[in-house]
């Protein structure tokens, strides 16, 4: 992996609940962190395995290791939202993280 491969900007978003001036709870997605990433579609065997469980719109994001990223977050990339389905700290080296995420329809 070359750092030059990380050429796309992605933004991690956290789901938050806050209280407005009238005392009502408001749920929204808040930006957490923007990072550089390598973005790839699934292909070959991985694609067909995903298609078997209707997850063919899954995308792989490869980023440098960032603490506090978890599956409750989502990724915003090129005007689309992606729910995180898995996070893999590659070889437990704390250098790169591979994230698989599935595209969300509409407002998700």
> Which pLDDT tens digit goes with each residue over 29-74?
999 999 999 999 866 555 555 555 555 588 999 999 998 999 999 9
Domain that holds residue 56: 3-103
Decide if 108 is inside a domain. no
Residue 14 to residue 30: CA distance in whole angstroms? 5
Domain count, the chain: 1
Q: What percent of the chain has pLDDT over 90?
A: 69
Decide if 89 is inside a domain. yes
The predicted structure's pLDDT at residue 42: 67
3-state secondary structure 16-29: EEEECCCCCEEEEE
Residue 56 to residue 40: CA distance in whole angstroms? 13
Note the pLDDT tens digit of each residue in 85-102. Answer: 999 999 999 999 999 999
CA dihedral 6, 71, 53, 46 (to 10 degrees): 30
Residue 81 to residue 15: CA distance in whole angstroms? 13
Instruction: Residue 64: give its domain's CATH number.
Output: 2.40.10.270
Question: pTM, whole model, 2 decimals?
Answer: 0.80
């Amino acid at each position: 992996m070359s750092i030059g491969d990380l050429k796309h900007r992605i933004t991690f978003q956290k789901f938050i609940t806050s209280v407005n001036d009238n005392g009502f709870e408001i749920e929204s997605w808040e930006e957490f962190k923007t990072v550089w990433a390598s973005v790839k579609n699934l292909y070959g065997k991985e694609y067909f395995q995903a298609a078997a469980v209707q997850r063919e719109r899954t995308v792989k994001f490869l980023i440098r290791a960032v603490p506090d990223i978890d599956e409750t977050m989502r990724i915003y990339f090129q005007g689309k939202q992606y729910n995180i389905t898995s996070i893999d700290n590659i070889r437990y080296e704390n250098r790169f993280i591979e994230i698989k995420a599935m595209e969300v329809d509409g407002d998700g």
